[in-house]
Amino acid sequence: MEKLRCDVLVVGGGLAGLMAAIGARKYVEKVVLVSSAPVGRGGNTIVSGAGFSAYLGAEMPGDSEQQFFQDTFCGGAQIGDPALIQNLVEKAGPVLLQLEAAHGVKLKRREGRVVRRRPPGHTFARMVTTVYSDYPYKVRGLSITQPLLRALRTSRIICLDHYLAIELAVYDGQACGAYVLDSRGSGSLIGVNAKAVVLAAGGGGRLFSHSNNTNDITGDAYAMALRAGAELRDMEFVQFYPTMGVKPVKVTISNSLFGHGAVLRNCSGERFMDRYDPRGDMATRDAMARAIFWEVARGNGVDGGVYLDCTGIGEDVLLGVYGELTNFLRKHGCDPTRDWLIVYPSTHFFCGGVKIDVQGYTGVPGLFAAGEATGGVHGANRLAGNALSEALVSGCCAGEAAGKFAAGMGSSLPPLPAPPVLPFQEKGSVSPEELGDTLRQTLWQDASLVRDQQSLERARNTIMACERSLKTCRIANEHETKRYFQVRNMCLVARAVVEAALRRKESRGTHYRRDFPQESEAYRGSFFIRLSGQDLVLEFRKQ
């Protein structure tokens, strides 16, 4: 097995990982970044809406850090970590402007001032987007990652593309690197020995069969963190994006359109949101996704979704603020100034994740985490634009903290423990791919927008069956070896989601229990999860 030594290892090639690597490089000489996709071209950053929610001071009259905090805390049903939220609202603006000034990420401006949007849940228009007209609309987040990738190369940060981290290395209780698998075909294993590790490998949206996430977002960060001794929190809170395009094209449709006058309509053309939420079409994502789900379930849908009507916005706004989206839809035969789109919810974001403090420290010496791999900021539901802002801020904080930790160790480098055994068996009745498909279908059917005791117990039983089958599954080539490790992680994370959802006997934010449809003060807090042997141990802590 090949070995590589470095000061800081960053796992994940999206925005959080890129910022962490740049932050760590300020304090140490050798930073290595590993990514299962090409660095800067994988993960959810590239398929995001390229929008950041931030308070930019004089650019946003009437707004304030205090109001941003309040919106985020209340949007998360009052169980988010106040310290993490405060860190976000204080730093998002300055770091975003630094992203523009130092790294060449262009913010959309008109006459020198940022163009602002107001998605549901925000009191003021505080979402700003990048200039992404030079990139395909479906991967407009490249307008963020590509300038940062150039900064990485300038800083002489080592990037390992197409390497899947399969296990964090821990020696005597301290994180000391990771084992990474070449996923391009050779199947070779590399042990990366590091003084500190930043885990920024994204969320777990691909645990569900209906998802707008990229294929590499399979919960790896959560599973590796658990096995390394870190805690997870709030894993029952999975956000489902309400307006994923069904027709004329599958694409994520920005929620900020509702702040300009877009409305949802059923098959009869009726505006229905007022029947489900007093905020109507300005309801937060969790409430809107469930409303669409119920409306379709009651037979009021059309072609598997509902209509999104943007005709009341006005062509000047659609072209001036949403010109790229408007032109993209027109190319696919739909003019939003006069035509209705069809939308339906899709798995979007994990609000929970690894427990951290404001520096990204996980509680395991030498291990830090950032971005969607972490939990605490969003509580029970995330507001639009806060994901990229979180990745930006937490990536900076975790990277700098890891760099300082590594610099403080001097020349000391804990040794790597024994590597994991790579499985290989040509016989077996089922492949890892088939088990993964079963898992995704099960979670969508039994543990997605609407849950209850019976459906969650069905999901639990299927997950346990998949774990048993994984022990004797067919692994005949390097691709199936990679899928084996991904499905192993998916099974563990799926268990965490389902066990937390079973224990939360209420409905809050993105977590809706048909058998407990009301929010309960007794559950105003978080479930924290750790791994003991093969068992998950859950502990509830009041807010």
User: Which residues are catalytic, by number?
Assistant: 285
Distances (CA, A) of 524 to 82, 216, 436: 14, 33, 33
Identify the DSSP state of 130.
Answer: B
Phi-psi region at 188: left, alpha or beta (left = phi > 0; alpha = psi -120 to 50): beta
Smallest CA-to-CA distance from 310 within 298, 299, 319 is with 319
Distances (CA, A) of 528 to 238, 268, 353: 15, 45, 10
Distance CA 155, CA 149 (A): 10
Distances (CA, A) of 383 to 36, 51, 119: 28, 12, 8
- Chain Cα centroid distance, residue 318: 28
Distance CA 111, CA 104 (A): 19
Smallest CA-to-CA distance from 374 within 176, 203, 196 is with 203
- Chain Cα centroid distance, residue 200: 10
- 242, burial (CB in 10 Å: exposed 0-12, middle 13-18, buried 19+): buried
- 61, burial (CB in 10 Å: exposed 0-12, middle 13-18, buried 19+): exposed
Sign of the alpha-carbon dihedral angle for 528, 448, 46, 123 = negative
CB 494 within 8 A of CB 223: no
Distances (CA, A) of 171 to 2, 196, 390, 414: 19, 12, 30, 7
Residues written for the chain = 543
CB 526 within 8 A of CB 233: yes
Distance CA 481, CA 499 (A): 28
Identify the DSSP state of 80.
Answer: S
Distance CA 146, CA 350 (A): 25
Identify the DSSP state of 209.
Answer: S
* Strands of the sheet with 306-309, listed across from one edge: 238-247, 341-350, 306-309, 263-265
- Chain Cα centroid distance, residue 59: 28
Distance CA 307, CA 8 (A): 48
